[in-house]
Amino acid sequence: MNLIYKNEKTLFRIMLALSLLIWAALVIGTLGMALVYVLLFFVSYCFAQSALVSYIRGTGVQITPAQFPDLHQRIESCCQRLGLEEMPDAYLLQMGGSFNAFATRFFGTNFIVLYSDVVDALEERPDAINFYIGHEIGHLTRQHLRWSALLAPAAWLPLLGAAYARAREYTCDRHGFHACDDLKSAQVGLAALAAGGKRWRQLSASNYSAQAQYSSGFWMSFHELVGDYPWLVKRMAAVRGLAQGNEVTQPGRHGLAYLLALLVPRLGVGGAGSVLGLVVLIGVLAAVAIPAYGDYTAKARMAQAVVVGHEATAAVERYFYANGRGPATLEAAGYAMDDPNHAVQDITVDAGNGMVRVFPADLNYRGKAIAFTPRVDENKRVVWQCASADIPERVLPAECRN
C-alpha cells in the first residue's frame, strides 16, 4: 500500500516552487528587509513553541518503559513499522474530554502527544490507538513540520494551502491505517473521533461513510475547500476503502464553491503559529507596501513640482527672447508661482546661466532641487534639460532622469 496520498507530492512541488519565488521576490523587493521580519517571526515562534513544549513537559505524563509501558511499546512498534528510526518523545495529556493527538517539533526534538480521553475510550480496542500514533508518526516521517517554514508563503494562498494541508491528513491517515494490526482498527479510531468515548461502539462505519454524499453541496464544498482537514466522513470512507483494498472515489465538489474559496486566503487552524504567521505576513507585506506607497506619493508630488518648474522656465524663456539675456529674478520675468497643490517650497533662477531650480515641499526631499538647465540649439531656440543630483531618479518623472 502506498502510504502517501496521491496528490500530496504534486501539491508539495507546486508549494515549494511558489514559496521559493515569493521568498526571492520579498528579499529582493525589500532589499533584504523581509529577512528582518522573518527573524522577528522566528524569535516569536520560538517563544510560542517553547511555551507549548514547556506545558507538555510540565503537565503531561512522559511515556517511557517505566511509565505506561504498554503505550511505549505501541509507539516503539509503530515507529519500526513506519520506518521512523528515532523514537519521538511521547506524552499523555489530559485535555478535558478532547479526542485527538498531535505531533510537534522544537529545536530538533520530535514530540507526540496522546490525549488521555481517546486512550481511555479505546481501552478495549487498544490496537485502534495505533491509528492515532501512526497518524502523528506520518507527520514526522513525511517531515511536514520541517518543511512548514519554507512553504509558509504559499501556504497562505487560497485553495492551494488548504489543499496541501488536507492531502497531508489523508497521507497521515494511511500511516495510521498501516500502523494497525487489525484492518478495522483505523475505522474504530475515527469512530471515536466522530461519536465519542462510548457511542463509537454503536456507530455504523458504512452508514457514517455514506454521509459523504452530502459533501458535494455548495456550502459543504466551500467550507472544506478553505479548511485544513477533510470532512471526517470522507476520511472514514477512505479508510474503509483501504481496509477493502480499494481507493475510494470521493464525491465531487460544487463548482461555484471553488470561485468563492478562491477569495479566501488560508489562515490555518489556529494556535500561536497561525497568529504569529499572520503577523509576520503582514510585516513582510508592509516592508514591501510602505516603501512602494511612499515612492508612489513622492512621484505624484514630484510630477506636480515639475509642472510648476515648466511654468517658470516658460517665463524665463519669454524674457530671454525679448531681452537677449536671462532675468535677474523670476519676478523680473513676470512669473508669479501658481502652486495650488503646495508641491513646491521655493523656486529660483540663476541670473548668470538662467538655470531654474525647483525645491519640492516633500519633507523627505527638503533642501534638494530639481534643476532646469537651458541651452540654445542650432536654431537659436532655448532647450531645457531637467535633472537632479540629489533626488533619486525612481521618484522623478521620466523627463528628468538621465
C-beta separation of 158 from 264 below 8 A: yes
Write the DSSP string, 213-264: GGGGSHHHHHHHHTSSS--HHHHHHHHHHHHTT----PPPPPHHHHHHHTTS
Residue of 62, 37, 48 whose CA lies nearest to 112: 62
Domain presence at residue 289:
no
Domain presence at residue 100:
yes
The rounded distance, in Å, linking the Cα atoms of 347 and 358 is 5
C-beta separation of 354 from 317 below 8 A: no
Please calculate the CA angle 171-175-176 and round it to the nearest 5 degrees: 115
Domain presence at residue 371:
yes
The rounded distance, in Å, linking the Cα atoms of 160 and 166 is 10
Same-domain status, 211 and 317? no
Low-confidence ranges of the chain (pLDDT < 70): 31, 267-292
Same-domain status, 64 and 162? yes
Q: What is the DSSP letter of 356?
A: E
Q: Which of 242, 269, 296 is the last residue of a domain?
A: 269
Domain presence at residue 300:
no
Q: What is the CATH number of the domain that holds 354?
A: 3.30.700.10
Q: How many domains would you assign to the chain?
A: 2
Range of the domain at 384: 305-400
Whose grid coordinates read 470561485? 259
Same-domain status, 207 and 337? no
**pLDDT score, position 289:** 62
Same-domain status, 314 and 258? no
C-beta separation of 145 from 104 below 8 A: yes
Same-domain status, 28 and 168? yes
Same-domain status, 196 and 249? yes
Domain presence at residue 292:
no
Q: Which of 219, 245, 269 is the last residue of a domain?
A: 269
C-beta separation of 114 from 71 below 8 A: yes
Whose grid coordinates read 539675456? 325
Domain presence at residue 384:
yes
The rounded distance, in Å, linking the Cα atoms of 20 and 153 is 8
Same-domain status, 104 and 213? yes
How many Cβ atoms from other residues are within 10 Å of residue 26's Cβ? Answer: 20
C-alpha cell at 39: 527573524
Same-domain status, 151 and 244? yes
Same-domain status, 132 and 198? yes
Same-domain status, 183 and 237? yes
Domain presence at residue 127:
yes
The rounded distance, in Å, linking the Cα atoms of 14 and 19 is 8
Same-domain status, 97 and 35? yes
Q: Which of 243, 269, 295 is the last residue of a domain?
A: 269
C-alpha cell at 253: 465538489
Write the DSSP string, 179-197: H-SSTTHHHHHHHHHHHHH
The SS3 of residue 394 is: helix
Sign of CA dihedral 106, 111, 116, 122: positive
Please calculate the CA angle 196-202-205 and round it to the nearest 5 degrees: 85
Same-domain status, 345 and 261? no
C-alpha cell at 244: 477493502
Residue of 111, 188, 134 whose CA lies nearest to 3: 134
**pLDDT score, position 191:** 94
The rounded distance, in Å, linking the Cα atoms of 45 and 275 is 10
Domain presence at residue 3:
no
Backbone angles phi, psi at 373, to 5 degrees: -100, 125
**pLDDT score, position 386:** 94
C-alpha cell at 203: 456507530
Residue of 346, 309, 338, 314 whose CA lies nearest to 327: 314
Q: pLDDT for 179-237, tens place per residue?
A: 999 989 999 999 999 998 899 999 999 999 999 999 999 999 999 999 999 999 999 99
